[in-house]
Amino acid sequence: MKRVFFSLFFIGLLHADVLIHELEAKSSQKSGYDIYYKYCSMCHGKQREGISAPPLLPSFIKRMSDERLRDIIKNSLPQTLMPKFDFLSDGEVAKIIAYLRSPAKNIRWTKEDIKKSKVAFNNPKKNLGIKNIENITLVVERGANRVWVMENEKVLDRFSFVNVHGGLKYTLDGKNFYVPTRDGWIGHYSLEHGRVEHKIRACVNLRNISLSRDGKYLFATCLLPQMVVVFDRANLVPVKTQKVQGKISALYELYSKDEAVFTLRNKPELYRVDTKTLEFKKFPLDKPIEDFFIDPFEEYIIGTTRHGKDLRVYEIDSLKEVFHAPMEGMPHLFSATYWYKDGKFYFATPHLRRPFITVWQMYDWKLVKKIDVGGDGFFVKTHPMSDFLWVDNGSDELVLVDKSSFALKKIVPRKGKRYIHTEFSGDGKYAYLSIYESDGDLLVWQTDTFKELKDYSANVPVGKYNFINKNRKFYPRLFGLSLFKEKCWGCHHQTAMAFGPPFAAIAKKRTRDEMIAQILDPKNMYKHLGYKRNSMPAFKLSPKELQSITDYIMSFKDK
């Protein structure tokens, strides 16, 4: 009897072994897509586009090693709903990874998909107690998938937004802002109501968002699929999708007219968008523009060609090239900063994977200085209330570059922890610094003294977005603050009476043309303005300087 039992047991083992080999053989015949579809597509999408879980396209996982992906598939991720797939063989996991690395083809995301993705929230309204919208600064805490709303040194609100990366945009009335994610979601936060109102998914892989100057439309540029989606801004309903044959660099709005522009990174083409009629027009260029910004007075496009071998400047209206200079290392033009000094306008930019920044004079268009900052940084920032450029160099050092002498001094905000990106409050009194670590910090400093006022613990804090400093519309006004400090504050105060009338009173009484006439020719203008005598000297200012100082004066009209 025992012999029969052991014989049957042995035969059973043989059958089980044969069955396992048959299953393994069948499994080995399955493609990576078949295995992915069975176990992963419910959350990550049939096209790897991401549904309840993040997208698994090559552009999203390129920084993850195969070993890291294998560990995630087998053992899951802590604090997520992803299950463990530890029962999959090493061969099956390898096939899934190979499929995830394969190029994305024919990714679809239709207008109907966009509409169906919309989610409305009904969280309780709350009063944030905002005193001055111009000093509102948004902070992206990437490691925690959160956005902070700050005013001066205080945190007014924090809210979660999955896969938040950067590129937040305010409406010009200061009542709302919009949060984009790399995987195509756009959230609408009401500063009046202190809450996220709704969100919608524009596409699978989003490049950036922009708003028309009248605030009616929101534009989302997409890399997957390649298109621009136009939304009714107030309710995030898609009104148009425009297919584009190429990789969009970024779309930027103009404030001087109802127009937006974007270029393609892989084709020598520029598009103009009429933000009233939503008409798209294509124009040829001599070379593709990989990255660009629009100058503060909206007359020029400053861009770099593919691989960053040169800097090119084009007139916006004619698209005629007016300046061309070779350069070493691709500039990070999106992170450029601007300032005015002694009658000249400047910008500075870091260079990717290069240990220097460069300083350029605008409008006369020339390289002023190449400055070694000791490492490969990503951001450079300044404000009229600071005498320095604030630069990160990939280490724990904050590099301060004197805007007059270009001399350097260095501060270490947190020893051994990487510092990145400074932003300033609208009035420039506060500086916000990110300590770019999972056990990092958001530091609030007094700009002029470098005194630390607050230290907030933060998980990989990165971009910070002040209402004034992140809107090109206000750049001339910031130049005007520098002009005021150079030429006006001996006689004028912004809101109080001094030797001359305060700017607040001038803004209420005078038109812009009257201000300009008084600045240029006070001898012949003072009587027209009702003054009994003139004690103001004439100032020979350029049209850009006049726009800057009058923009600054007009900012005090309601103060």
β-bridge mates for residue 219, sequence order: 210, 230
**What pLDDT score does 12 carry?**
42
**What pLDDT score does 85 carry?**
87
**What pLDDT score does 80 carry?**
67
Reported as a single tens digit per residue, the pLDDT across 126-149 is 999 999 999 999 999 999 999 999
Q: Is the dihedral of CA 234, 236, 241, 245 positive or negative?
A: positive
User: 236: which DSSP letter?
Assistant: T
Taking the CB of residue 407, how many other CB atoms lie within 10 A of it? 10
Mean pLDDT of 280-302: 95
Cβ atoms of residues 187 and 165 within 8 Å: no
pLDDT band for position 3 (cuts 50, 70, 90): very low
Reported as a single tens digit per residue, the pLDDT across 465-511 is 999 999 999 999 999 999 999 999 999 999 999 989 999 999 999 99
Q: Give how far Cα 241 sits from Cα of 48, 50, 238, 330, Å.
A: 22, 20, 8, 31
pLDDT band for position 197 (cuts 50, 70, 90): very high
Q: How many residues does the chain have?
A: 559
User: 174: which DSSP letter?
Assistant: S
Mean pLDDT of 271-290: 96
d(CA 316, CA 329): 25
Q: Is residue 519's pLDDT more than 70?
A: yes
Cβ atoms of residues 382 and 390 within 8 Å: yes
Burial class (CB in 10 A: 0-12, 13-18, 19+), 462: buried
pTM, 2 dp: 0.87
d(CA 141, CA 164): 8
d(CA 208, CA 219): 8
pLDDT band for position 29 (cuts 50, 70, 90): low
Reported as a single tens digit per residue, the pLDDT across 312-349 is 999 999 999 999 999 888 888 888 999 999 999 999 99
102-111, 159-168, 309-318: segment of lowest average pLDDT: 102-111
SS3 218: strand
pLDDT band for position 523 (cuts 50, 70, 90): very high
- CA dihedral (8, 10, 11, 14) in degrees, to 10, reads 160
SS3 214: coil
Q: Which residues contact 56 (CB under 8 A, 6 or more apart)?
A: 40, 44, 48, 50, 100
What average pLDDT does the structure give for the chain? 91
